[in-house]
């Protein structure tokens, strides 16, 4: 499928850079433990995207949950990390409009999904 150019990315500074990089990775395969550039797992994708903005994140969704300022659901902005599960087991990059870019699971690809599914656990601004 042809690459879709990212929409006008909202957010400022590093968040804008992280979101732009996440869009570039759409369609790449999920691979457990992978952190780019050819495949990703969930925390590898967020680590890669924020790394392009000069922000270092650990390669673990639960560790990323402790790597920034927690923001309420009403204050989430593009670039924020959104977390799922109890205990935390998944992370995505919020892109606005109730959506995130994430690397879901084996057999899938990096894609845009609903950011506020039933196991939503919280958000962090790196």
Measured distance CA(83)–CA(92) in Å, rounded: 7
Could you say which of 59, 70, 89, 90 is catalytic?
Answer: 90
The closest of 101, 105, 99 to 117, measured between CA atoms, is 99
Residues 96 and 118: their CA atoms lie apart, in Å, by: 18
Token code pair at residue 102: 């994430």
Q: Measured between alpha carbons, how far is 44 from 90 in angstroms, rounded to an integer?
A: 11
Is residue 90 among the annotated active site residues? yes
Given the residues 59, 102, 108, 114, the one annotated as active site? 102
Tokens of 50: 């924020």
* Catalytic annotation, residues: 42, 90, 102
């Amino acid at each position: 499928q042809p690459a879709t150019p990212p929409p006008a990315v909202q957010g400022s500074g590093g968040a804008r850079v992280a979101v732009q990089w996440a869009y570039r990775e759409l369609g790449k395969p999920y691979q457990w433990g992978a952190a780019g550039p050819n495949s990703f797992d969930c925390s590898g994708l967020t680590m890669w995207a924020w790394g392009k903005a000069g922000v270092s994140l650990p390669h673990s969704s639960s560790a990323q949950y402790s790597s920034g300022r927690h923001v309420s659901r009403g204050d989430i902005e593009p670039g924020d990390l959104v977390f799922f599960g109890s205990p935390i087991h998944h992370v995505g990059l919020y892109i606005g409009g109730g959506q995130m870019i994430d690397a879901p699971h084996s057999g899938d690809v990096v894609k845009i999904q609903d950011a506020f599914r039933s196991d939503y656990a919280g958000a962090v601004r790196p």
